[in-house]
Amino acid sequence: MTGKAAFPVVGIGASAGGLEALRDMLSPVRGATGMAFVIVQHLDPNHESMLAQLLDRHTALEVLQCEGGERLEPDRVYIIPPGHGLAIRDGVLELTDFAQPRGLRRPIDDFFQSLAIDRQADAACVILSGTGADGTTGLRAVKENGGVCVVQQPETARYDGMPVSAVGTGLVDYVRPPGEIIACLTSFFARRTGHPLEREATVVADHVDDLCRVLRQAVGHDFSGYKRSTLIRRVERRMHVLGIDSGRGYLTRIRSDADECEALFRDLLINVTRFFRDGELFEVLRAEAIVPLLAGREPGEDVRVWIPGCSSGEEAYTIAMLFAEAAREAGEPTAVQIFATDIDEQMLAIAREGTYPVAALADIPAGLRERYTVPHGERFTMTTAIRDLIRFSNHSLVKDPPFSRIDLVSCRNLLIYFDDRLQQTVLPLLHYAIRPGGFLFLGPSESVGRFEHLFPPIDRHARLFARSPGAPSYPIDLPGGLRQAAPRRDRAERDGAGALPEDQAAMRRLVDRYAPASMVLDQDGAILAAHGRLSRYFDFPVSRTGGSSAITLARPGLRDVIGPLLRQARDGRRRVVARDVEVANEFGVQPVEVVCDPLGDGTLLFVFRDAGPFRPADDPDAVDLAEGDDHLEALEDELRLTRHRLRSAVEELETANEELKSSNEEMMSMNEELQSTNEELSTVNDELKTKVDQLTVANADLRNFFESTDLAVVVVDADLRIRNYTAAATAIFPLQPVDRGRPLTDVASGLDDGDYVADARAVAAGAPATQRRVTSRDGTRTFALRTLPYRLQNGRTDGATLVLTDFTDALALERQLADERERLGLAIRAGGIGVWEYCPDSGQTVLDGAEQALFGVEGVPEMPVDGLLARVDPEDRTRVEEALRIAERGEADFEASFRVLTPDGETRWIKGFGRTIAGAAPRRMVGVSIDVTPEYAVAETRELMLREMNHRVKNLFAIIGGMVSTAARSHDDVRTFADDMRERIAALGRAHALASPTGEQQAIALADLVAATIAPYRDHAGIVVAGPDVRIDRKCLSSLALMLHEWATNSVKYGALAEGSEGRLDVTWRRDGDGVVLDWVERGGGAPDGERGAGGHGFGTLLVDTSARQLGATVTRAAQDDRFTLALRLPETVLANG
Amino acid sequence: MAKPVLLVEDELFVALDVQMTVEDAGLSVDGPYGSLAEALDAMERQPPGFYLCAILDVRLRDGEVFPAADRLAQAGVPIIFHSGHADRQGLEDRYPGALVCAKPCAPRTLRARLDDVIQAAG
């Protein structure tokens, strides 16, 4: 408690489930607490701890992960780093290395212990959720040093192992839910400030005696012999816990509250014990005491061991195991009886059960552990063999009669709680209890003090002492009994307790009245007891200036004797008698005999027996004698004075020594809990670790998502307060980081209506997810708003998530696409375009309706390509296959025109285009087919027609050429020749006009031909043209036309058609067998028949004959009266077929 | 006596014209024959070397003239094709040495061809 700032330091121990508890505990903090917090957790050394970040979010306090060397400051939270322990020294945090392997470390205990020592009453420890029992030992240390202990209410802890274990000690001041712990600590420390320790101490010290009295009446145990400082400290602590600030108030409370008595009692009995505490000292015990005891035991007798203040039994079991092991090694039966006693019934119950946390196993050497313990999961039990060696009983070393004939007393760390006076009475008691040759085993900071003559040390370091030989002297004055003012309520229960005072009275009467005067001195001559009439031999002054030294008080004469007697008897340890001693007083001389009898316990009994009658004083003698006596007396005086000074010095030294020892003991007792068992950490909180890992990753993912997504997301809680949002959402809602927690309704929005709020409210209230389309206020953007329930892990709905997807562009695109598709579809339909898809690897094709129709495979949307190729005209097939192969390889697009033979016998011209889709897997070719049959037909016809026309024209030229050549030979007059030729060419022209220009029509109606030929002469005469429908082959057209023209010309020149003639012409025809017979009949013609006949030898006749020959026709002429007949018989070949 | 010229021509006016042209050259004409059948029939009756030469239209009423032309070529009779539509190259390839006069053909051209043949024969 040097100059460091005095603010409380709260050590917080947590393990599995601790994060939740820590959060609950630290989150209510508002403003300054004036306390520093140090969190110690069980952490995986290989894993970075996220605790600092996780906690920082939930508390107003500054949270730091400790790096070592930090000076503690108030209102900060320090967190243990992974892989290290934590200790505090002079207000500075230090990292420590673990001595134990993983799984056996108890960082919470370790830290609490250092905290307790460093901060004393400024220390507070808090134990939160966790498995195992870490922290339980540490809290004892904190409590022992005056700190306060708070434990999380086990029902609120996820893992209640640590809290339950801590509560089980009965030392916990407060049990609170995590959220109330800080408030509890704050008020505890607030009560304490303003009451400086010293003042408080005096206030309490004034009432300690009263408190002890109350306690003795209530629980039957007297603590007045306990160290004052410890008592005061612990009482004060109780007062802080209860919020009582005056000693008187506490006294009142304790008088009326039996529970508080019990609590104080328990607090006073804080003690720490563990298996093999100070293991090397037990090794000394084993070698020096246990083995010899077993070896030297009388057959049939048990070795008796007494362990007062056994607490929860660990020490008793330790010694039992040592005995059992030694006996086993020696091959002897374990003939040991161990009495383990304590006044705390609660501790005894634990001890009797013999069940301890598995963590404590680490303290037991491996060999013994296997042999004498039985593990049961989290705990282990001592074997029955060991338990049967020990008897646990409620017994007070202070107030109850001791055991006797004990071979070994192990009384460790008990005397340190006793004040000097009580220690002085207990040690002789132990001397009584132990039989000669037995052993006393004390704690490392305890000693036998002034009773070294009773207990000479065997091993000073190990605090192992032998009982000095000599008869046991029963210390009659039981320390507790003599000081007792009022009879204790349990006094009568003790055997023989009522008879003792009467014996004593008799003895005293006997000694006082009937025995020679006697006196018990210690080895320095101090009077311990006096009996009988001693005034004759001693001069008891009114003032006690001479002290209690028998030598000083002895009358002259006796004074010289007592010193030598004392020394001789003490050193020789036998009775010494001084005879003829003359004791002088004011009235005369009394001869006496002085016997000095050394008693066993180092004191000496002096007995004074009168050896003769009293002789009155003789004055003259007296002068001489007085002178001589005076000289001796002066020397004696001087010696006595010197001795007195020496003694004072020695006593002062001893006192100082005692004080030193006492403070050392006190220190050691405070250290108790530091050295105490480290509760083994049994469960490392893997679950939390994993969860934190996942959470961290998920959090990072989420953060990245929130920052990077284009999706506008707003998350609201059940009250429609904004919990989170993405960066994209700020385009719609102008959100700022400070808006988190604001109601959604308060936030402006860029949407044109507020329906989204209603949606969010409904969904947060449990309605299913909804979707709606919303538009921005300016109408330019369209969003899909999906409102989804925000579900917690347990499936409960706790708010809503609003997801806004901007699909303005998508919408426009979709519309555009639909238009495009419709146009395309229309075009394809209008063009009768078939669409196909071909997968070269599988050889399969997919055809649409139009394509199916083109190939004549309606209703077969998918078919192998071979099936399609089979329909292709064999002449084109190879070409198509080749084009497909080239396109498959991607060398060129597919383009081919080919004929398809449809099932109904049609030939169809198809033009196909296709292209392999780049990068598609499997390879795919898509293409279209167009029916080009009409185009092909037209082209074909055109070509045919052209050829035909060409031929015809050439033919006509040839015919005309031929006619010109031939006619030229029979004409002399060029004009006539030219006219005739012009007429003939015109006739040919008219005839050919009948032939269809397309060339398709190969047949010309005979009626038309006749009509066309004689058309120029229609008005010349009555012309009758009649006959059945006969069609003439086009090839015969020219010949027939020329023939008819010649006839008509002749008729105009000479016959019925001549100008001015009244003749008439009948042209009729009829079928005659296979052929046709045409009759040309003229009546009333002008020219005589003879003339016409002559004309037959001109070019016209040649023309007609040649034409007839050409046609294979025969012409018969006949003339009779005015009737001129030409009969033309046309063979079948002239007629057009069909 | 000079050998006759075989004339195969289905168009009689043309045939007449050609015949007059041939006769003007002082040669006689066998024909004209208007069909392949008639032409072949005529050739049946004569020894192969009977004709000085042959003037042939390609397309006849009953088909093309080639069967007759083949036999004439085989017999070494010079051939003059007189046709309106035949392709000159095809004919010259098939009948090396044959002459081709595209119809309508001027009488002078035909006369020149005929002279060439007489010259060659002479």
pLDDT level of residue A546 (50, 70, 90 thresholds): very low
B113 within 8 A of B86, measured Cβ to Cβ = no
Contact A955 B11 (CB under 8 A): yes
Measured distance CA(A305)–CA(A408) in Å, rounded: 5
Q: Could you write out the DSSP letters of every residue in A10-63?
A: EEEEE-TTHHHHHHHHHTT--S--S-EEEEEE---TTS---HHHHHHTT-SSEE
pLDDT level of residue A587 (50, 70, 90 thresholds): confident
Average pLDDT over residues A759-763: 87
Percent of chain A exceeding pLDDT 90 equals 3
Contact A965 B17 (CB under 8 A): yes
Backbone phi and psi for residue A459, each to the nearest 5 degrees, phi listed first: -135, 110
* Residue A819, pLDDT score: 92
Q: What are the tens digits of pLDDT across the range A5-39?
A: 578 899 999 887 777 888 888 888 887 888 899 98
* Residue A1096, pLDDT score: 46
A488 HSE (CA, 13 A, CB side): 22
Q: Find, in chain B, the residue whose alpha carbon is nearest to that of A1112.
A: B34
Measured distance CA(A551)–CA(A536) in Å, rounded: 14
Question: A964: closest CA among B61, B26, B104?
Answer: B104
Nearest chain B CA: its distance from A1108 CA (Å): 10
Choose between A1057 and A898: higher pLDDT: A898
Measured distance CA(A250)–CA(A243) in Å, rounded: 9
Sheet holding A770-775, edge to edge: A722-725, A712-716, A797-806, A782-791, A770-775
Residue A415 above 60 pLDDT?
A: yes
Measured distance CA(B82)–CA(B58) in Å, rounded: 7
Query: Does this model's pTM top 0.90?
Result: no
- C-alpha dist (Å) from residue A950 to A588, A954, A999, B86, B99: 198, 6, 11, 12, 22
pLDDT level of residue A484 (50, 70, 90 thresholds): very low
Average pLDDT over residues A427-453: 84
Let me know if A206 is a catalytic residue: no
Q: Tell me the chain A residues in contact with residue B63 when contact means C-beta distances shorter than 8 Å.
A: none
A137 within 8 A of A673, measured Cβ to Cβ = yes
| Helices and strands: H and E segment counts in chain A | 35, 43
Average pLDDT over residues A871-893: 85
A317 within 8 A of A386, measured Cβ to Cβ = yes
Question: A669: closest CA among A294, A415, A301?
Answer: A415
Residue A621 above 60 pLDDT?
A: no
Helix (H), strand (E), coil (C) string for A1076-1122:
EEEEEEEECCCCCHHHHHHHCCCHHHHHHHHHHHHHCCEEEEEEECC
Measured distance CA(A1114)–CA(A1108) in Å, rounded: 6
Q: What are the tens digits of pLDDT across the range A1111-1122?
A: 888 888 887 777
- Interface test mutation site (partner A, options B13, B14, B21, max chain A beta carbons within 10 A): B13
Q: Which amino acid is at A643?
A: R
Residues 6 or more apart whose CB falls under 8 angstroms from that of A321 comprise A364, A368, A372, A386
Measured distance CA(A470)–CA(A666) in Å, rounded: 33
Residues 6 or more apart whose CB falls under 8 angstroms from that of A178 comprise A21, A22, A24, A25, A128, A152, A156
A49 within 8 A of A198, measured Cβ to Cβ = no
* Residue A679, pLDDT score: 36
pLDDT level of residue A100 (50, 70, 90 thresholds): low
Choose between A410 and A359: higher pLDDT: A410
H/E element, A937: helix A933-970
Q: What are the tens digits of pLDDT across the range A1017-1043?
A: 777 767 888 888 888 887 788 888 888
Number of domains in chain B: 1
Across the A/B interface, how many CB contacts are shorter than 8 Å? Answer: 61
Q: Which of A951, A1035, A1102 sits opposite B85 (nearest CB)?
A: A951
Question: Which range is most confident: A473-482, A744-753, A999-1008?
Answer: A744-753
Q: What are the tens digits of pLDDT across the range B94-119?
A: 888 788 887 777 778 888 888 887 77
Exposed / middle / buried, residue A444 (Cβ in 10 Å: 0-12, 13-18, 19+) = middle
Q: What are the tens digits of pLDDT across the range A720-749?
A: 888 888 888 888 888 887 888 888 888 888
Least confident range of A268-272, A343-347, A493-497, A763-767: A493-497
Q: Which of B11, B12, B107 sits opposite A965 (nearest CB)?
A: B107
Name every residue in A having a CB less than 8 A away from some CB of B.
947, 950-951, 954-955, 957-959, 961-963, 965-966, 969, 1035, 1039, 1102-1103, 1106-1107, 1109-1110
Nearest chain B CA: its distance from A848 CA (Å): 47
Percent of chain A exceeding pLDDT 70 equals 87
Contact B17 A961 (CB under 8 A): yes
Q: Which of B10, B13, B18 sits opposite A963 (nearest CB)?
A: B13
Q: Find, in chain B, the residue whose alpha carbon is nearest to that of A1103.
A: B13
Let me know if A42 is a catalytic residue: yes
* Residue A126, pLDDT score: 92
Q: Where are the beta strands (DSSP E) in A129-214?
A: 148-152, 174-176
Placement of tokens 């299913």 in the chain? A768
A595 within 8 A of A517, measured Cβ to Cβ = no
pLDDT level of residue A496 (50, 70, 90 thresholds): very low
A85 within 8 A of A96, measured Cβ to Cβ = yes
3-state secondary structure of B53: strand
| Helices and strands: H and E segment counts in chain B | 5, 7
- Interface test mutation site (partner B, options A944, A955, A1109, A1132, max chain B beta carbons within 10 A): A955
Backbone phi and psi for residue A395, each to the nearest 5 degrees, phi listed first: -155, 135
Contact B20 A951 (CB under 8 A): no
Q: What are the tens digits of pLDDT across the range A959-991?
A: 888 788 777 777 778 888 888 888 888 888 888
Q: What are the tens digits of pLDDT across the range A767-819?
A: 888 888 888 888 888 888 889 898 887 788 888 988 888 888 888 888 899 99
* Residue A1001, pLDDT score: 57
pLDDT level of residue A629 (50, 70, 90 thresholds): low
Q: Which of B34, B59, B84 sits opposite A1110 (nearest CB)?
A: B34
- Interface test mutation site (partner A, options B7, B12, B64, max chain A beta carbons within 10 A): B12
Which of the residues A110, A122, A134, A759 is marked catalytic? A134
Question: A149: closest CA among A51, A10, A24, A297?
Answer: A10
Measured distance CA(A191)–CA(A241) in Å, rounded: 9
Domains of chain A: 9-268 (3.40.50.180), 279-482 (3.40.50.150), 508-617 (3.30.450.20), 709-811 (3.30.450.20), 832-931 (3.30.450.20), 938-1134 (3.30.565.10)
Backbone phi and psi for residue A21, each to the nearest 5 degrees, phi listed first: -65, -40
* Residue A495, pLDDT score: 41
Q: Where are the beta strands (DSSP E) in A116-229?
A: 123-127, 148-152, 174-176
Q: Which two tokens stand for residue A411?
A: 């009384």
Q: Could you write out the DSSP letters of every residue in A211-250?
A: HHHHHHHHHS---TTB-HHHHHHHHHHHHHHHT--SHHHH
Pairing of strands A85-89, A62-65: unpaired
Residue A94 above 50 pLDDT?
A: yes
Q: What are the tens digits of pLDDT across the range A131-174?
A: 777 788 788 788 877 788 899 988 888 888 888 888 877 778 88
Q: Which of A950, A958, A1102 sits opposite B11 (nearest CB)?
A: A958
Residues 6 or more apart whose CB falls under 8 angstroms from that of A17 comprise A128, A129, A130, A157, A158, A159, A685, A688
Measured distance CA(A393)–CA(A1088) in Å, rounded: 184
Which of the residues A15, A669, A1061, A1107 is marked catalytic? A15
pLDDT level of residue A109 (50, 70, 90 thresholds): confident
Rounded to a whole number of angstroms, the distance between the first and last alpha carbons of chain B is 13
Average pLDDT over residues B3-9: 86
* Structural domain containing residue B79: 5-121
Contact B103 A963 (CB under 8 A): no
Contact B84 A950 (CB under 8 A): yes
Q: Which of B34, B85, B104 sits opposite A961 (nearest CB)?
A: B104
**CATH code at position B87:** 3.40.50.2300
Contact A966 B17 (CB under 8 A): yes
Paired strand residues for A1077: A1070, A1129
Q: Which amino acid is at A898?
A: F
Placement of tokens 């006593």 in the chain? A651
Let me know if A929 is a catalytic residue: no
Name every residue in B having a CB less than 8 A away from some CB of A.
10-18, 20-21, 34, 59, 61, 84-85, 103-104, 107
Q: Which of B13, B34, B107 sits opposite A959 (nearest CB)?
A: B13
The C-alpha angle with vertex A622 and arms to A621 and A625, in degrees rounded to 5, equals 85
Residue A53 above 70 pLDDT?
A: yes
Contact A965 B103 (CB under 8 A): no
Question: A602: closest CA among A526, A547, A521?
Answer: A521
Average pLDDT over residues A440-457: 83
ipTM of the complex: 0.80
Q: Which amino acid is at A793?
A: Q
A799 within 8 A of A723, measured Cβ to Cβ = yes
Q: Tell me the chain B residues in contact with residue A959 when contact means C-beta distances shorter than 8 Å.
A: 11, 13-14
Choose between A337 and B47: higher pLDDT: A337
